[in-house]
Structure 1
Amino acid sequence: MPHTVNSIVPSDSLVTVIVINTFALLLFGLQHSVMARPSFKRWFTRFIDPSNERSTYVLATAVAIGGMCYLWIPFCTVIWQVESEMWGYVIRGIAVFGWLFLFIATFMINHFELFGLRQTFNPLQGKSAPTATFKMSGFYKIVRHPIQTGVLIGIWAVPVSASSHLVFATGISVYIFIGLYFEEKDLVQEFGETYLD
């Protein structure tokens, strides 16, 4: 990418920055939420094989994230900056912990199923498509949503933050909490009392 959310660059007009950055966040947020809903999945699998639905969703998410990062216009000045080199490393270590926490959590449910690979390749090998099962192992025993928790730790644990990063991290955080509201409803509908317990 030509820049990061923390780049300090001469920015366009404030209106342009607000419009494009809002569009960038919505591009990801809407794609990731709409395509995850059961009603969309039912409609979408009328056009593609159901075994390819999850991998198509993941691919669309990757494109949306790439688009969001590419479109994002960094703006304004530094909001906070940790001067101590030691504390800078500590904060970066916390961020690395968050991203590793997320990555490891994907294997606790089934990394290859999460990314749609199992659903796509099982039928090609003559195996039946996996059915959704409720799993509560590893981090899931102590944190309801460890993947999202890892994202939140990773995006907020930064030793330097421009106002651009602050807006980006806030937007992603708001999206996570809105997305979790709908995901919780879907999980209760799918697993009922098992999930509520």
Structure 2
Amino acid sequence: MLEFVSDVDLVWALLVDMSLLCTFMLQHTVMARPVIKGLYNKLGLSIVERSVYNLTASLALQLLIQHWVALRDPVWRINTVEHNACWWMFAISHGYCWATIYLGSLTMDLSELLGIKQVYYYLNGWEDPLTLKSSELQRLISHQRHPSFVSFFFIFWVHPFMSVDRLIMAVIMTLYMVCAWKVDDIDFEYQERQFKRKEIELSHVH
């Protein structure tokens, strides 16, 4: 639950929020390390590695939401009550960004991303679904597990009420994404080829 605080509690509030952000980022970073994945393999639990990752990520996010301390002082404030067009602009743009993230996850195989497909394939005696993907796609996934950098950046920064705590979150999460997502020219060229290929396939549907 969000809790607004006075200036006296500012330092404590920032420490709490920073700790919550660090917990979320540590979970994302540590559990994605090769040594952790290797430990799952040694224990024969590689099929649940992705599911456990998502479960712990959800718990870290829930912890952040429940204990986040909001601050009253705005860095900027746009009155969307008196300016209806502004409200619609923010609502539509944020909705578009979330839809892009969701559809991008579907495109990159949502069931595999959540860890559901790994368990299903294992129960049917099939290979790990990730090994069945092309080497180019595996490379892209290793550099960016889920989309989309631009959409997350927009959601963090483009908001009618930018409070101090939201600004800190936006700065830290943006820096984290820059450091964690390592998409390069090879990944971009692969996505460009796939996009053009899909355009050609769809053009023949008619």
Q: Which band: TM-score by shorter chain? A: 0.7 to 0.9
Moved over 6 A (4+): none
Amino acid at match of 1:31: Q
Bigger Rg, structure 1 or 2 = 2
Superposition TM-score, scaled by structure 1 size: 0.78
In the TM superposition, 1:25-104 aligns within 5 A as 25-47=21-43, 49-83=45-79, 84-104=83-103
Q: CA deviation at 1:30?
A: 0.8
Alignment of 1:10 with 2:12, yes or no, is: no
Question: What is the alpha-carbon distance in structure 1 between the residues aligned to residue 97 and residue 87 of structure 2?
Answer: 15
1:1-197 to 2 correspondences below 5 Å: 2-3=1-2, 9-11=4-6, 13-47=9-43, 49-83=45-79, 84-130=83-129, 131=131, 132-133=133-134, 134-135=136-137, 146-181=147-182, 184=183, 195=187
Per the TM alignment, residue 71 of structure 1 is displaced from its structure 2 partner at its CA by: 2.2
CA contact (8 A) 1:102 1:149 kept: no
If asked which structure has higher relative contact order (CA below 8 Å, sep 6+), I would say: 1
Residues 132-190 of structure 1, C-alpha deviation per residue, up to 9 Å, x if partnerless? Answer: 53339xxx9xxx97323222222222122212211112221121112114xx5xxx8xx
Q: Structure 1: which 5+ residue stretches go unaligned?
A: none
TM-score of the pair, normalised by structure 2:
0.75
- Give RMSD over aligned pairs: 2.8
Instruction: Identify the range of structure 1 (105-114 vs 66-75) with the bigger mean alpha-carbon deviation.
Output: 66-75
1:127 Cα offset (Å): 2.4
- Partner secondary structure for residue 127 of structure 2: coil
Deviation at 1:50, TM superposition (A): 0.8
| Residue pair 2:74, 2:163 contacting (<8 A) in 1 also | yes
Cα deviation for residue 48 of structure 1 reads 5.1
1:57 counterpart letter in structure 2: Y
Structure 1 residue 195: deviation in Å?
4.2
Cα distance in 1, alignment partners of residues 84 and 161 from structure 2 = 12
Q: C-alpha displacement at 1:122, in angstroms? A: 1.2
Which of the two has greater helix per residue? 2
Q: Deviations over 1:23-49 (max 9, x none)?
A: 101000011011112222112333351
Mapped contact 1:103–1:147 kept (Cα < 8 A): no
One-letter amino acid of the counterpart of residue 22, structure 2: L
